[in-house]
Structure 1
Amino acid sequence: MVNIPNSITVVRALIVPLFIMALHYGNFKIALILFIIAALSDAVDGFLARKLKQVTIVGVIMDPLADKALIDSAFVVLSYVHKIIPPWLTILVISRDILIIVGGWLLTVFEKLDRIKPILIGKFTAFSQFLTIFFTLLHLNFNNYYLNIMLEFLYPFTGGVTVISGISYVIIGIRELGSE
């Protein structure tokens, strides 16, 4: 039996290098289309996994990795190649992800990872980061005043929720490591 949600996640992971190439070489229309497909597939695979009762350990691991590859690569290329997203925001996004990965590793070593679940601020942060990339790509395609205003608000907002989310996960992780 084919696991449809996992198959969708694999396709999203395969889209990431194509997205990075389109972004790197300045083909912002293709990058926007690929990003929209990847973002929609993220929503669809999670919904289907629950609906079809096809949640697997492979999907639980692969889904956030595909998301991080998409989000982090977009932030890096848009910050350091195209100089659009402020570098401080990219540093915050990647630092939070590194904290979460290291924390997950530590919790795995101490056999406590199964006690950590995604939290609302974490999901909101991912949504905010997706929106930031989406509106940045829209701005690159349709450069208009309103998109610029939106980004002036969105960059610090996304930075703030990213920091709050990172701190929240660190606090939860420390509590779990200290519990029996």
Structure 2
Amino acid sequence: MSLIKRFKEKNKDLFEYLESQEVHPHDHFLENTVLRLLPKSVTPNKISIFRIIATPFVFMLILFGHYNIGVITFALVAFTDAMDGSLARTKNKITRFGMLIDPLADKLLIGSMVLLLVFKYLDFWLGIAVLGMEIIFISTAYIARVKFKTVRMANLWGKIKMFLQVLAICTVLIALVFDNPFLLNIASVILGLSVGFALVSLFRHGI
């Protein structure tokens, strides 16, 4: 028996499908457009895992200064965050494993970009604030799972936070492509707003 099968057998509750409690307007839009192009074998969890695997490639592109390709690749990989959630909600394929792996994938992607871009081109303390909040989210999710045997679902504020983080990183990359310092100031404001929404999300017990 493979390690994956053993893990699934040991943690069956993580892979049980849960009924979606809410479906957002953008879920229906994606269901009728992008998600229709996906093979039936593609699951929300596979998309989340793809995002984790793709993150090092995005990291390397930007590390070596390929900002033109980097901004497009980053945006596409970040877009999979919307895809896995919409697929899970519209097809009733929500799992506790997905509720754990999805935000982890987001934090790895955003965290790597903070290390590469925010500390270098924006503000050191802003980078610390973003990374600090993400570490807190990961810690609370781990404690909830291990100690209380629960998995917390991301709330609206957390989703807005993620959108703002992606927008800020894209703005930084575009600023580097066009050598536009003003856009870096815009990116700082956007990322600062994301920290505010992160605080609200934390107090709302989401991840």
Question: Does structure 1 residue 159 correspond to structure 2 residue 195?
Answer: no
What is the CA–CA distance in structure 1 between the aligned matches of 2:79 and 2:190, rounded to whole Å?
A: 23
Q: Normalising by structure 2, what TM-score? A: 0.70
Question: Does structure 1 residue 77 correspond to structure 2 residue 77?
Answer: no
1:100·1:166 contact (CA, 8 Å) conserved in 2?
no
Q: Normalising by structure 1, what TM-score? A: 0.80
What is the CA–CA distance in structure 2 between the aligned matches of 1:107 and 1:10, rounded to whole Å?
A: 22
- Greater per-residue helix proportion: 1
Question: Does structure 1 residue 33 correspond to structure 2 residue 75?
Answer: no
Amino acid at match of 1:152: N
Structure 1 position 9, deviation (Å): 2.0
CA-based RMSD of the aligned residues comes to 2.2
Which segment drifts farther, 87-96 or 3-12? 3-12
Amino acid at match of 2:184: L
SS at match of 1:113: coil
2:75·2:166 contact (CA, 8 Å) conserved in 1?
no
Q: Residues 46 and 164 from structure 1, CA distance in 2 versus in 1: closer, same or farther, beyond 3 angstroms?
A: closer
After TM superposition, list the pairs within 5 Å mapping 1:1-180 onto structure 2.
2-80=41-119, 83-111=120-148, 113-114=150-151, 116-144=152-180, 148-166=181-199, 168-169=201-202, 171-172=203-204
1:48·1:54 contact (CA, 8 Å) conserved in 2?
yes
1:92·1:163 contact (CA, 8 Å) conserved in 2?
no
Q: Residues 63 and 150 from structure 1, CA distance in 2 versus in 1: closer, same or farther, beyond 3 angstroms?
A: same
Structure 1 position 69, deviation (Å): 0.8
Q: Residues 123 and 109 from structure 1, CA distance in 2 versus in 1: closer, same or farther, beyond 3 angstroms?
A: same
Residue 14 of structure 2: aligned partner: none
1:9·1:62 contact (CA, 8 Å) conserved in 2?
yes
SS at match of 2:121: coil
SS at match of 1:166: helix
2:158·2:198 contact (CA, 8 Å) conserved in 1?
yes
Amino acid at match of 2:155: I
SS at match of 2:93: coil
Taking every aligned residue pair, what percent have the same amino acid on both sides?
32
Structure 1 position 49, deviation (Å): 1.5
Q: Residues 112 and 162 from structure 1, CA distance in 2 versus in 1: closer, same or farther, beyond 3 angstroms?
A: farther
Q: Number of residues paired by the alignment? A: 166
What does the per-residue CA deviation read over 1:118-142, in whole Å, with 9 as the maximum and x for residues that have no partner?
A: 2322221111111100111111112
What does the per-residue CA deviation read over 1:69-109, in whole Å, with 9 as the maximum and x for residues that have no partner?
A: 110100101134xx213221211111001111222223334
What is the CA–CA distance in structure 2 between the aligned matches of 1:7 and 1:103, rounded to whole Å?
A: 24
Runs of 5+ in structure 2 lacking a partner? Answer: 1-39
Residue 16 of structure 2: aligned partner: none
